[in-house]
Structure 1
Amino acid sequence: MRIAIIGAGIAGVCTAYELAADGHQVSVFERRGSVAAEASFANSGLVAPGLVLGWTQAPLSLAGRWRRWRQGRDEAAALRRQRLLKLAVYSHERLQQLRRSLKLDYERAEGMLVLLRSAREQAAIAPGLELLAEAGIAHRALDAAQCRQAEPGLNPEAALHGGVLLNAGEVGNCRQFAHQLRLEAQRLGVQFRFHTTVRSIAPGTPARLVHEYTPPHEGPGPSARNGNGENGGDTQPAETGPQQDSFEAIIVCGAQDSAALLQPLKLKLPLASAQSCSITAPLRQLEAHPELGPKAGLFDQQKQVHISRIGQRVRVVGSDEAQLHKVLNDWLPGAMVAGQLQRWQGPHATLSDGLPVLGGSGLAGIWLNLGHADGGFTLACGAARVLAEQVGGLTPELDVSGLDSARFG
């Protein structure tokens, strides 16, 4: 099949690879000059199936929701969440398969520890832990001493009640993974069309796509088209003005751009935008304190802030930069070389029920893989594999029914 993918974030790159591995002819359209240039650029790098439902977020209100779901008052919603958990576990397994078979090295570190500052927080997340147990997701409750044993760099003076260790959890450089998988996809024949904006799509057999070459403005100096720019020489000068192509399938992975493309098709998803920001800097190296930084991933449940080890750097991710510095100083004071700080901020797409949209759109030739929010790296590999099987007419290894757009009517 001839297939188009809109968006070259982590979801789009993984989808392109899986489809090409199945023998399809794939073109990826991306308005930026490279892969993972927006929401996948400097995210937490978190891959943790146990966190995909966000049971640590607003725990007091979620406690009532878990009870209602278990009582069967919203069986459809409960089933969708069960399938999302299974997709997250499957995705983590698929990531490990790709990492080993393709020999990918993306600065990964194993381990994910949720930090609890008080007994109240621990009590509040109890329903979420029950949900993990029901789903068979291995985890272990730790007291403060056990948390510090798992992460020796934690500040001994910080107020720490305990934590939850997620067995299947890791962090890694999402952008680096996307670049490496993109090269593997290109070896399988995938064409990446960078600096190319998709103006419209139309369902049908075949489906149609209108795109336009939109290179950045070039001032004086060497041209970005000669291979020295961020696109690595992939994008070649193209015809100006809108161009139309036909494909047997078009897969929308464009996150923030998706609403504008889908609205003319009367496919109105409840998409919203949420902002994330991150700070990244080298880990301070002190002979007297070899454990200054995190060993892998930490999540501050109260502050909703992630701390990740990315190679020899530390990255802190949340919604407010001032809070990022405070949380890092709470748990790992002095760990970051602040003079070499890199800042990033960007939006990611979310849906009203907190779940992604994966599968057919109900319109001929149009497929969806978007709305992963901050769980994009966790879900990317599994969602891509499932969607490749659906688009190719194969029987998917995993049942994700209920996660498609039909749930919004």
Structure 2
Amino acid sequence: MRQARRVPDKHSQVDQVTKQVAVIGGGISGVCTAFFLADAGHDVVLIERHQNVAQESSFASSGLVAPAYAGPSAVPGMPRRILSALFQSESPVLLKPGLDRALWRWARRWVAECDLDRYRINRTRLQRLGLYSQGLLHRMREYYQLDYEQAQGVLQLFRTEKDLKLAEPGIALLAENGIPHRQVDTDGARAIEPALASDTALAGALYLPQDEAGNCPLFARRIKHIAADIGVQFHFGRRVERIEQDSRGVALLIDGQRFPVDAVVVAAGADSERLLQPLGVRLPLYPVRQYAAAALIRNFDNAPKAALADEAYKVEIARLGSRIRLSGVAQLTPDSASLKERAMRTLIKAGSDWFPDAAGYAQANFWSGVRLVLPDGVPVLGPTPVRDVYINMAQAESGWTMAVGAGKLVSDMVSGQAPDIDADGLTMARYG
């Protein structure tokens, strides 16, 4: 591997105080945060309970790096659509009605975010961060000559006119913000993706030429090696028991031992809430399980060229090397065999409906990961009310789209530097 070099940055390190910073979590968010902290000159350690990076929700990533496509799940008209789909054999949302008060409290806030004005604010925030993140990703890809099975272009597929109607607010926002996109009819969609099955109903599509796809776990491993070369120390198989305030900053309790540091960044995915609540850091989070599958391509002529999104079932389809990645289905209730079976059926249906002869879906490998999701669908980054404790979390299904930019923003905040983009609406300040 070529020797790691620091990515050129407008910020000078001359007046910056070097800190000892611990990053908790080895998903794509934690790895990117650790890289940028080391790139800024800090002494960085990353602590991960698994034996490598990107082993949980990052491993189940859809593969999309798609700021134009990225949007909150809280969309005008979405509550009614979810209710109508709950009892279908294949559904984008898995929910068994019950008395989970935490879920219903979260759901009430989520429904409020489905208001058109709130949707526009939330999607604009996601696109601001996503476009910034994608720009940084391209700089890193060029600078380090990275290959992570990337492919250009995302095609949103609308099976019915109702699907198209639901997408109208998002399409209008793309136009207002000057983000490249092109609405196409069925013939136009098949010109972009010639392998699309002709007997699957298609009312139209939206082509996003600057969005892309790639192998998220592979990218995370590439960045891990680069980060290690510029000084990040990785400790795998270690679990942080708690975070404590310390006279010099904060301390981590690991295996009964206290390790003081100047600052800590919590990027531990679904485990973040366990670490933050004892410190009094509370957010309206709810754990959502997402599923993914990977099927080997057996007929490359009948496989997709890049990435697609089935808007009826909220399943993303991406070609990653010799595999087709299927990702989606939001499970909001405790695990069960029946829910898992419904999730797998939904993923397989999306893949086999659009590319029936491309891959052996019956032999696909399935896995899932839990994400903490906020009602507005926007991540929360930066300082907490607890001194020297920072967060990088709740990036939901757009995790990789946001990860590089989120890591840089958090690094700048830890360093006391002004971020490159406006962080309004991306921090805890939006919760008062």
Instruction: Give the structure-1-normalised TM-score.
Output: 0.86
* Residue in 2 that maps onto 1:237: none
Q: Paired residue for 2:147?
A: 105
Counterpart position of 2:66: 48
Q: Percent identity?
A: 37
Deviations along 1:83-110, one digit per CA (max 9) or x if unpaired, are 3321111101111111110111111111
How big is each residue's C-alpha offset from its partner over 1:181-224, in whole Å with a ceiling of 9 and x where there is no partner?
Answer: 00000000100111110111124553323343xxxxxxxxxxxx
Residue 311 of structure 2 is matched in structure 1 by 301
Q: Contact 1:117–1:159 at 8 Å: present in 2 too?
A: yes
What are structure 2's unaligned runs of at least 5 residues? 1-18, 82-110, 330-342
- Aligned ranges for residues 232-247 of structure 1 at < 5 Å? 241-247=255-261
Check 1:272–1:282 CA distance in 2 against 1; reply closer, same or farther (3 A cut): same
Q: 1:176 and 1:67, CA in 2 relative to 1: closer, same or farther beyond 3 A?
A: closer
Residue 357 of structure 1 contacts residue 368 of structure 1 at CA under 8 Å; is this kept in 2? Answer: yes
Q: 1:8 to 1:152 in 2, by over 3 A?
A: same
For structure 1, the 5+ residue unaligned runs are 213-240
Residue of structure 1 equivalent to 2:351? 328
Partner residue of 1:281 out of 289, 292, 295: 295
Equivalent residue, structure 2, for 1:168: 210
Distance 1:341 1:58 in 2: 34
| Range with bigger deviation, 51-60 or 25-34 | 51-60
Report the 3-state secondary structure (helix = DSSP H, G, I; strand = E; otherwise coil) of the residue aligned with 1:384: helix
Larger CA deviation: 163-172 vs 131-140 = 131-140
1:129 is aligned to: 171
Indicate the residue corresponding to 1:361 in structure 2: 384
Q: Secondary structure at the match of 2:239?
A: strand
Aligned 1:115-126 pairs, distance under 5 A: 115-126=157-168
Equivalences for residues 387-406 of structure 1 within 5 A: 387-406=410-429
For 1:250, which of 239, 253, 264 is the aligned residue? 264
Aligned residue runs from structure 1 range 26-105, under 5 A: 26-54=44-72, 59=77, 70=117, 79=121, 81-105=123-147
Instruction: Check if 1:383 corresponds to 2:393.
Output: no
Matched, 1:311 2:321: yes
| Equivalent residue pairs, number | 372
> Does 2:275 align with 1:261?
yes
SS of match in other structure, 1:107: coil
Does residue 157 of the first structure (1) align with residue 199 of the second (2)? yes
Go from structure 1 to structure 2 and tell me whether the alpha carbon gap of 1:292 and 1:59 turns closer, same or farther (over 3 Å shift).
farther
Structure-2 separation of matches of 1:155 and 1:308: 16
Alpha-carbon distance in 1 for matches of 2:345, 2:114: 35
Find the aligned partners of 1:134 and 1:55 in 2 and give their Cα distance. 20
Mapped partners of 1:300, 1:361: distance in 2: 37
Distance of 1:280 and 1:55 partners within structure 2: 24
Shift, 1:173, TM fit:
0.5
Please give the secondary structure, in 2, of the residue aligned with 1:3: strand
Distance across 1 between alignment mates of 2:69 and 2:80: 14
| CA displacement at 1:356 relative to structure 2 | 0.8
In the alignment, is the contact (CA less than 8 A) between 1:20 and 1:188 conserved in 2?
yes
Q: Give how far 1:142 is off.
A: 0.7
Q: Give the corresponding residue for 1:347.
A: 370
Among residues 29, 38, 42, which one is paired with 1:24 in the alignment? 42
Match in the other structure for 1:226: none
Q: Which residue of 2 aligns with 1:193?
A: 235
Q: Deviations over 1:50-99 (max 9, x none)?
A: 122237966556999899655xxx6xx85554333211111011111111
CA contact (8 A) 1:208 1:244 kept: no
Distance 1:397 1:176, change over 3 A: same
Give SS of 1:19's match.
helix
Aligned with 1:374 (options 382, 397, 409): 397
Is the contact made by 1:83 and 1:399 (CA closer than 8 Å) also made in structure 2?
no
User: Are 1:271 and 2:285 matched, yes or no?
Assistant: yes
Q: Distance in 2 between matches of 1:83 and 1:367?
A: 20
| C-alpha contact (below 8 Å) 1:307/1:316 kept by paired residues | yes
The alignment partner of 2:191 has SS state of: helix
Conservation of the 8 A alpha-carbon contact between 2:75 and 2:114: no
User: Would the aligned equivalents of 1:5 and 1:27 in 2 still touch at CA under 8 Å?
Assistant: yes
Q: Superposition RMSD on alpha carbons, in Å?
A: 2.2
Per-residue deviation, 1:135:
2.3
| Counterpart Cα distance in 2 of 1:61 and 1:129 | 19
- Contact in 1 for aligned 2:46/2:232 (Cα 8 Å): yes
Secondary structure in 2 matching 1:193: strand
Once the two structures are superposed, residues 326-378 of structure 1 have per-residue CA deviations (whole angstroms, 9 ceiling, x without a partner) of 11111100211346521112211111221111111122100010000111100
Q: 1:407 to 1:56 in 2, by over 3 A?
A: closer
Q: Which runs of 4+ in 1 moved over 6 A?
A: 62-67
Q: Give the whole-Å Cα distance in 2 for the aligned partners of 1:60 and 1:279.
A: 25
Output the amino acid matched with 2:283: L
**Conservation of the 8 A alpha-carbon contact between 2:34 and 2:46:** yes
Distance between the aligned counterparts of 2:374 and 2:348, measured in 1?
Answer: 29
CA distance in 1, matches of 2:272, 2:158: 37
CA distance in 2, matches of 1:82, 1:326: 31
* Maintained 8 Å contact 1:278/1:343: yes
TM-score (norm 2): 0.81
